[in-house]
Amino acid sequence: MLTIGNDAQFQRFCEFANCEELAGDERYKSNSARVKNRDALILAMQPVMASKTSNEWFTALQKLTIGCGPINSIEQVFNDKHVQERGMIIKMPHDAVGGRSISLVGSPLNFSETPVTYRHAPPILGAHTEEVLQEVLKLQDEEISQLKGQSVI
């Protein structure tokens, strides 16, 4: 993930990334121009971004004070030392795997007097659809059956 918030950061980024031609392009010289021409800029940036690994970008851009961060896979999240040290990995039984326990990312918040509790695993897709339609929209069983028949739900 890359967040370039001003023109000076864009200039530093382009110098580091060896794409100074982008910094000199009228379509990208100012933040407002980059926003206006975002689709073209994204296309121009794709080969630039593919030229280095996430770690190479992260290390270098941190030093240049350019906002960035990796977008982690689930495996990377669970292997992250901060996630592990903060006790954010929780295990809960889940219907999606027949009630066996799965690893979930817990809350990063730790309160001394009111700790976070976990009562239910995240629901599977559609688990509460009928309940919500009945309670919130006051639909009757026949109306819900009709929506199912029309593949609306």
Distance from C-alpha of 87 to C-alpha of 103, rounded to nearest angstrom: 12
In angstroms, the Cα distances linking 75 to 64, 72, 105 are: 28, 8, 11
Q: What is the pLDDT of residue 142?
A: 95
* Residues 128 and 86 reside in one and the same domain: no
Task: Identify whether residues 140 and 88 lie together within a single domain.
Answer: no
63 plus 19 within the same structural domain: yes
Predicted pLDDT at 6: 96
Using one digit for the tens of pLDDT, what is the confidence trace for 6-59?
999 999 999 999 999 999 999 999 999 999 999 999 999 999 999 999 999 999
Asked whether residue 132 falls in the same domain as residue 103, the answer is no
Number of structural domains the chain divides into: 3
Domain coverage including residue 143: 123-153
Helix (H) or strand (E) segment spanning residue 9: helix 7-16
**CATH number, domain with residue 53:** 3.30.1540.10
Residue 11: CB atoms within 10 A of its CB come to 16
Q: Are residues 16 and 49 in the same domain?
A: yes
What tens digit of pLDDT does each residue of 49-101 get?
999 999 999 999 999 999 999 899 989 999 999 999 988 999 999 988 999 99
Q: pLDDT category, 110, cuts 50, 70, 90?
A: confident
Based on the domain organization, do 6 and 63 belong to the same domain? Answer: yes
Residues 59 and 77 in one domain: no
In a shared domain, residues 128 and 141: yes
Phi and psi dihedrals of 141, rounded to 5? -55, -40
Q: Write down the H helix ranges in 53-140.
A: 54-63, 74-79, 81-85, 129-135
Encoded amino acid at 144, one letter = I
93 and 105 within one domain: yes
What single-letter DSSP state applies at residue 2? Answer: E
Confirm if 38 and 22 have CB atoms less than 8 A apart: no
| pTM (predicted TM-score) | 0.61
Distance CA 112, CA 78 (A): 24
Regarding whether 88 and 61 lie in a shared domain, the answer is: no
89 with 141, same domain: the answer is no
Length of the chain: 153
Q: What is the pLDDT of residue 42?
A: 96
Strands (E), 40-151: 67-68, 89-93, 101-105
Same structural domain for residues 49 and 86? no
Which pLDDT score, from 0 to 100, does residue 92 have?
95
